[in-house]
Amino acid sequence: MSTDKKVLVIVYDFPPYSGGGAALRTVKFVRYLPEFGWSPKVLTAKKPDSLLADQTLLDQIPRTPLYQIKDLYYSLFKDIQDPNITKKPMLRLCKKIIRRACHIIKGFCDKYLFIPDTHLLWLFPAFFKGLLLIKKDNIEVIYSTSPPHTPHILGYLLSKATGIKTVVDFRDGWSENPYYSSMSGFRLKLEKKMESLVVNNASAVITTSPALTKSLQSRYGKELKAKTIYNGYDEADFTGFEYLEPVDKHLFTLSYVGSLDGKRIVNNFLNAFSQLKDKNLRLKFVGHLSHLNKTLIAESNEDIVVMGKVSHHKAVQEMLAADILISFLFPDEDGNRAIPGKIFEYLRAGKPILAIAPKNGEFARFISSNDLGEVADPFDESEIQDKIQLLFYKWYNGQLDQPSDNFVSNFSRKQLTKKLAAIFDDLI
DSSP string, 128-176: HHHHHHHHHHT--EEEEEESSSHHHHHHHHHHHHH--EEEEEESS-STT
User: What pTM was estimated for this model as a whole?
Assistant: 0.88
Looking at residue 81, its pLDDT comes to 45
Report the distance separating Cα 311 and Cα 78, nearest Å.
26
Beta bridge partners of 257: 286
Looking at residue 209, its pLDDT comes to 93
Cα angle 21-26-27, degrees, rounded to a multiple of 5: 90
Question: Could you give the domains of the chain?
Answer: 5-71+119-232+412-426 (3.40.50.2000), 82-109 (no CATH), 235-410 (3.40.50.2000)
Looking at residue 377, its pLDDT comes to 95
Compute CA 423 distance to the chain's CA centroid, rounded to the nearest angstrom: 23
Backbone phi and psi for residue 74, each to the nearest 5 degrees, phi listed first = -70, -30
- Annotate 402-424 with b (16+ C-beta within 10 A) or e (fewer): ebeeeebeebbbeebbeebbebb
- Strand pairing report for 281-286 and 373-376: unpaired
Q: How many CB atoms lie within 10 A of CB 40?
A: 23
Region for residue 43 given its phi and psi (left: phi exceeds 0; alpha: psi -120 to 50; beta: otherwise)? beta
Report the distance separating Cα 208 and Cα 221, nearest Å.
19
69 DSSP 8-state letter = E
DSSP string, 80-117: PPPGGG-S-HHHHHHHHHHHHHHHHHHHHIIIIIS-SS
Q: How many CB atoms lie within 10 A of CB 237?
A: 20
Break the chain down into helix, strand, coil percent, rounded to 5. Answer: 45, 15, 35
Residues in CB range of 121: below 8 A, 6 or more apart: 71, 72, 73, 76, 114
Q: How many CB atoms lie within 10 A of CB 46?
A: 15
Residue-wise pLDDT tens digits, 349-390: 999 999 999 998 999 999 999 999 999 999 999 999 999 999
Q: For each of the chain's 428 residues, which pLDDT tens digit applies?
A: 556 899 999 999 898 776 566 788 999 999 999 999 999 999 999 875 555 566 778 888 888 999 999 988 776 665 544 444 445 566 667 767 777 777 777 777 777 788 888 888 899 999 999 999 999 999 999 999 999 999 999 999 999 999 999 999 999 989 887 766 667 788 888 999 999 999 999 999 999 999 999 999 999 987 788 999 999 999 999 987 755 555 567 789 999 999 898 778 899 999 999 988 777 899 999 998 999 999 999 988 777 999 988 888 889 999 999 999 999 998 877 767 889 999 999 999 999 999 999 998 999 999 999 999 999 999 999 999 999 999 999 999 999 988 899 999 999 999 999 999 999 999 99
Report the distance separating Cα 385 and Cα 361, nearest Å.
20
Report the distance separating Cα 358 and Cα 327, nearest Å.
12
- 41 in helix, strand or coil? strand
- Strand pairing report for 5-10 and 204-207: unpaired
DSSP string, 263-329: T---HHHHHHHHT-S---EEEEEES-B-HHHHHHHHHTTS-EEEEE---HHHHHHHHHH-SEEEEE-
Residue-wise pLDDT tens digits, 100-137: 777 777 777 777 788 888 888 899 999 999 999 999 99
53 DSSP 8-state letter = -
